[in-house]
Structure 1
Amino acid sequence: MSTVIRDTAQLAVFIRAVDKGFNVTEDLLDLNPLKGTTRGVDIFEGVQASLHTTGIEDFSKCVSLCTDGAPSMIGCHNGLIAKVCELQPDVIAVHCMIHQENLSTKIINTDHVNSVVVKKINYIRSRRLNHREFQEFLRHLDSQSENVVYFTEVRWLSGASTLQCFWLLLDETILFLKLKRKEAQELCDPLWQMDFAFLNDISQKLSQLNVRLQGQENLVHDLFKQLRTFERDLKLYEKSLREEKVDHFPTLKFVFNGKNEILDSYAQRVAVLREEISSCFTEFRSLRSEMTIFSLPCTCEISSAAIQLQLELNALQEDDILIQNFKEMHLVDFYKSLSTADHCNLKQFARRFVCMSGSTYSQTWITRPRIARKHG
């Protein structure tokens, strides 16, 4: 949900639907203005109204809800999820992975770096004369970059872009500020530069994870795999820093002065970030066993599956043709190819996970802002 310039809250409702033939529709269902309060009940009624406009009468076929984690969404009594669960108790409620990832990164305390970078960028960008002079200064130096980038708190990827651009123009920025007789002492401090380099490197890694969690047609188990892989990466980064190795941090490697104690502090920050991420995404972690069955039906532990799936999985794991199909086909196409007569329960189980979305971010908002066609 967002607010437009006239202070009207806009409720964006995205839908991901899967029919019995495993055809997937993922699109913007509706953009519903909420002109009054934005309580959980208001959002619930807004979602209901959006469903009704497309001929969906109720939440009986709702498998999962993915929200941004705001109190109006997750409130245990009057939040959107609570209201939906009153009508559909089996619905799976999840907190957007990208939103959780962004919240987790705030635990890295780097205000002494960010505040300086933002202050210098604002000095350059917020004054038109300074901005024009800076751009002309860069052209005169044949700089590899043409400008510094504003940092915007609500645009999660802007932080990494801002840091990377400022790092590339650090020498030019220092020289420009000195020519303007402005304070640049902090930018020249070797310890500050190392902190900046570390922050830039870890921000680029988080930005790459953020991008991998975006887009359409992503299956939730693949998104969760990206998160678990990143947790393992953080453990590797921490170990490397404690061993006085900076190869995974190319910007830091460029300015590292050989003082190993600074690497210990960076390793501790990575450890704190890893622990924070490990404590999040609990709703996805609780589904890990089921996601394994969904993503690896030919090799999963049958006894860990629900009773109604066990005989079908047993038959599947003894069928060499289906096993070969699984190896060669996209997962959704594989489930689509299964015989309904022989694997009715397994297909129904799989449809639930194909239908789930792990993020409230959707490329649909950018590429296809239209109302979704109603699924039959």
Structure 2
Amino acid sequence: MIVKKRIDELSQDIKVQTLDQVRASPVFAIQCEETTDVAQCSQLLMYARFVSGNNIKEEIMFCHLMESFTTAEAIFDVISDFFQENQLSWESLVGVCTDGAPAMRGLRSGFVTKVKERNPSVMSTHCILHREALASRTLPVEMMDVLNVAIKIVKFVKAGALNSRLFKLLCKDMESEHEALLFHTNSEGFHATLAYLVDIFEALNAVNLKLQGKNINILVHHDTIRTFMAKLDFWKYRVLQGNVASFRNLDTALADSNLDSELKEQIITHLSDLKSEFVRYFPDIDDKREAWKFIRNPFQCEVADVAEQVQEEFLELKFDSTAKEDFKDMDLETFWVKYLHVYPLTSHQALRILTMFGSTYMCETAFSTLVSIKTKYRNRLNVEGDLR
């Protein structure tokens, strides 16, 4: 009990310091997400990304126990009360990042809609993580049937310890290189299709890993997404030529045969549909890249690339030789924070974007920590102090 009290006191002190920094920041953004813990309690988490000192920081704001409903209105009320109690300005809020749940992103009554009623200039972003779900949602019927069979096999093998042991013995008897690789079937078409599915899920998982981590700004997230979308077009072009070198497992499965015309058509259809899903999720990604070009390198942009109200100040920055030398030696965030007081209008525009979250990674990480802290043996624990 004494230890817990001490943890809560330290947590409260950190919270006070963090709130002071958020209030002093010219702009800040938030990410929020809700989950259910081991005690069937709904926990709402919120993180903030803000300017502090010479850089941009990410810190937890609160972990709030939702006592009843988890509707958009209930979530907004909790966050609105937090803003009011801690004197946080809605005008300084520039971005909100959430998952795609209806309560968060509903067009008429979602949480994001309610935030924009307070500050219409707030930009909202989808969580970019876990886009591998798009791969399964865009699969042709034939591929989905293969995936369902594979899932049933995995579930059967993992259903009990005996099944797992027998499968391991089977792999040994077949002199398999692996003891849990589900590529053993008499159907060559099944084999090749499953190999492709493994390849595309691995590719999406690689994208997911690049998007994870602290202090990754939204420009990096968008570059990663744009790169993957370009790869989808490239892979489609290759498959049209009968070349599957981009898909390691599929290439191995077809080592002694050519790509079947039916499977070829399915792959092309899937890659096209997957690209369309990414375009639907990020419809203005190319427009934003152009609008944000001056943030990446203000010394290689034209005055027409920035908003009219900052053009004169931007020209002063562009021809500032000292700033140009600093730009070579600093990362983007540090550079724009340093020149906030020298070129306030231009820097403010840049920091509005750089403080935005591209994913709810921080919330996801905290939820993973929550699983370890709040167990069935400690299910009455108030976890906010332990998470901070």
Given the two structures, how large is their TM-score scaled by the length of structure 2? 0.77
SS in 2 for 1:93: strand
Distance 1:80 1:240 in 2: 43
Aligned to 2:198: 200
Q: What's the offset of the Cα at 1:268?
A: 2.6
Aligned to 2:153: 120
Q: Deviations over 1:11-49 (max 9, x none)?
A: 221221223x44322133222222312211101012234
Equivalent residue pairs, number:
336
Distance 1:339 1:66 in 2: 24
Q: Deviations over 1:149-197 (max 9, x none)?
A: xxxxxxxxxxxxxxxxx35xx34xxxxxxxxxxxxxxx32000111111
Distance 1:245 1:195 in 2: 15
% same residue: 25
Aligned CA distance change for structure 1 residues 22 and 347 (closer, same or farther; 3 Å):
farther
Which residue of 117, 124, 144 maps to 1:86? Answer: 117
SS in 2 for 1:18: strand
Mapping of residues 307-322 of structure 1, within 5 Å: 307-322=308-323
Aligned to 1:280: 281
Mapping of residues 331-346 of structure 1, within 5 Å: 331-338=332-339, 340-341=341-342, 343-346=343-346
| 8 Å contact from structure 1 (residues 335, 350) kept in 2 | yes
Q: Deviations over 1:71-98 (max 9, x none)?
A: 2112233221122122222111122122
Farther off after superposition, 58-67 or 361-370: 361-370
Aligned to 1:239: 237
**Ranges in structure 2 where 5+ consecutive residues have no aligned partner:** 1-33, 371-382
* One-letter identity of the residue aligned with 2:133: N
Distance 1:16 1:370 in 2: 18
Distance 1:227 1:102 in 2: 15
Mapping of residues 244-263 of structure 1, within 5 Å: 244-256=242-254, 257-261=257-261, 262-263=263-264
| 8 Å contact from structure 2 (residues 131, 208) kept in 1 | no
* One-letter identity of the residue aligned with 2:346: L
Aligned CA distance change for structure 1 residues 284 and 104 (closer, same or farther; 3 Å):
farther
Distance 1:95 1:145 in 2: 38
Matched, 1:73 2:74: no
Aligned to 1:302: 303
Matched, 1:11 2:11: no
Aligned to 2:15: none
Aligned to 1:37: 69
Matched, 1:360 2:372: no
Q: What's the offset of the Cα at 1:339?
A: 6.3
Distance 1:134 1:191 in 2: 22
Distance 1:44 1:32 in 2: 12
Structure 1 consecutive aligned stretches of length 4 or more whose deviation exceeds 4 Å = 49-53, 135-146, 283-286, 366-374
Matched, 1:224 2:222: yes
Matched, 1:347 2:347: yes
Distance 2:43 2:269 in 1: 41
Distance 2:307 2:165 in 1: 65
Distance 1:201 1:69 in 2: 26
Distance 1:118 1:42 in 2: 37
Aligned CA distance change for structure 1 residues 135 and 190 (closer, same or farther; 3 Å):
closer
* One-letter identity of the residue aligned with 2:102: P
| 8 Å contact from structure 1 (residues 28, 371) kept in 2 | no
Aligned to 1:130: 163
* One-letter identity of the residue aligned with 2:149: V
Aligned to 2:129: 98
Distance 2:134 2:78 in 1: 27
Q: What's the offset of the Cα at 1:312?
A: 2.3
* One-letter identity of the residue aligned with 2:293: T
Q: What's the offset of the Cα at 1:291?
A: 1.8
| 8 Å contact from structure 2 (residues 127, 360) kept in 1 | yes
